[in-house]
Amino acid sequence: MNRHSRIITQPKDQGASQAMLYATDGVQSDADFEKAMVGVASVWYEGNPCNKHILGLGQDIKRSLTEADIIGYQFGTVGVSDGISMGTKGMAYSLQSRDLIADCVESAAGGHHLDGMVLSRLRQEYAWCAHGLLNRPGLMVYGGTIRPGSCEGAPQLDLVSAFQAYGKYLQDGRTEEAEKTRYNTVRHACLALVHVVMYTANTMASASEAMGMTLPGSSSFPATSPEKLEECASVGAAMRELLERDIKPRDILTRSAIENAIVLTMVLGGSTNAVLHLLAIAHAYGINLSIDDFQTVSDRTPFLADIKPSGKYVMEHVYQIGGIPKILHFLLKNKMIDGNNMTVTGRTLGENLDRWVHKHGELEFHNQDLIRPLNKPIKETGHLRILRGNLAPGGAVAKITGKEGLGFTGKARAFDNEEDFVHAVESGSIKKGEKTVVILRYLGPVGGPGMPEMLKPTSLIMGAGLGMDVACLTDGRFSGGRRLISVDAVKNTLELQVSDEELAKRRAAWKAPPLKVSQGTLYKYTKIVTDASRGCITDA
């Protein structure tokens, strides 16, 4: 099982390597040099409620490896909290940290000749790329979701509740009572871990389970549940099976596995970030995937899950009805996904799901309405739509659940930063009853830099009661200040209603603004990152 570590543990001319290893806690005797050495990558930061517990989970995983007669070495990487950095310049570091984390994992495993990897974190997609490049046996352990906060009889508060609270405060006239409500919402929204609903973390964790990269149930076990601890305790045996059979990530994460993940994302109403991350993962694994493939799957896949942020349930409720494996079994039973793919258990996805439902039962519809039956979907096609037009010739991703309508046309209002947009809402210049398309531009992978996520503006719009009057676009290149912008989620178009001649004239006159950074990690990122339609990869 020590296919890689033997390079430093066996040869007599590697005495320095061996001397260093004798000084670690992992090597207690000469016999230990015959064992596999596995890294436990823990993305941990105590200032982030999302992953402050990951260090402890990593310790549990390391003990499990020891019990399986495997030497485990835990190491950490930095992680950036979207929730904390959102709405500030700190958000520029979030997407960039995907590459930073992948580089850390690749460097630690490659530099120390580790035989395998266990990736323990909340945002697993950040380390997937290194996992594929190294292609050594390994698996992922999701840090887990947690119960939502609540206050004043308003249950199921989450991070978006905190963002929307300010918009509601403005809508309610900034009174003393409005301030009390705003404060209480912020104070109680995130009492513990904040990954409650179908944001990026839960979306990508569910996707990783659909792709066979986690043990069954990992994506829906709450962080503090007995099942999460049992999962960590079972990693050692699973890792030993992978090492003995030399089952590697590229044996598991295939084109079919990624398509399974896309189907599940559509069914669950997952984050638009899934497009960005799955494109990058496919690239790392040598799989040809484009944004058009997401539209193909969306056209044939119904949206079935009534989960926040677009619905009413949270991830804990998914756990209560039997978890992601029960949903996957339902999809397999209806021939919507492929059950023949290998997984980290050493069994196929279909075999894992059969075992799960034998123990937990199949998904039923008489006792829950979180997952709708196929004949009563929330929307007959997927919620993620790939739009094209003169505003997005390379493609754009829209999240259309059907509740907001399938088309929107309004007067364009362009902003070069979030602050100016927030001030426009505060001043009342964006009015209820006036159809407005807000464009937040120069915020892409290079211009942002780092393609910062825009949760603050969209939440502000919803909190201020403008949800049906305003459509938000980001990274637009032209202002269209006196023209209309039209979004059509049926024809999948995104058009600025001006002539081709006018657009050509604007392109000829347009000059790119200077970069917002001139040195450091973000500057390096701007020099190598590709556009979002290719996943914002940095090794193209």
Among all residues, which ones are annotated catalytic? Answer: 479
> What is the rounded distance in angstroms from the CA atom of residue 353 to the CA atom of residue 363?
12
- Is-cis flag, bond preceding 377, omega within 30? no
Residue with tokens 């999962």, as numbered in its chain: 231
Provide the 10 A C-beta neighbour count for residue 347.
16
- For residues 310 and 269, the answer to whether their CB atoms sit within 8 Å is yes
Written in H, E and C, the secondary structure of 5-38 is CHHHHCCHHHHHHHHHHHCCCCCCCHHHHHCCEE
- Sequence-distant contacts of 52-58: CB under 8 A, at least 24 apart: 52/193, 53/143, 53/193, 53/223, 54/120, 54/121, 54/122, 54/143, 57/120, 57/141, 57/143, 57/228, 57/232, 58/120
> What is the rounded distance in angstroms from the CA atom of residue 442 to the CA atom of residue 408?
23
Pairing of strands 116-121, 71-77: unpaired
- For residues 413 and 469, the answer to whether their CB atoms sit within 8 Å is no
- For residues 457 and 421, the answer to whether their CB atoms sit within 8 Å is yes
- For residues 532 and 452, the answer to whether their CB atoms sit within 8 Å is no
- For residues 430 and 466, the answer to whether their CB atoms sit within 8 Å is yes
> What is the rounded distance in angstroms from the CA atom of residue 502 to the CA atom of residue 510?
12
- For residues 181 and 164, the answer to whether their CB atoms sit within 8 Å is no
Pairing of strands 138-142, 116-121: parallel
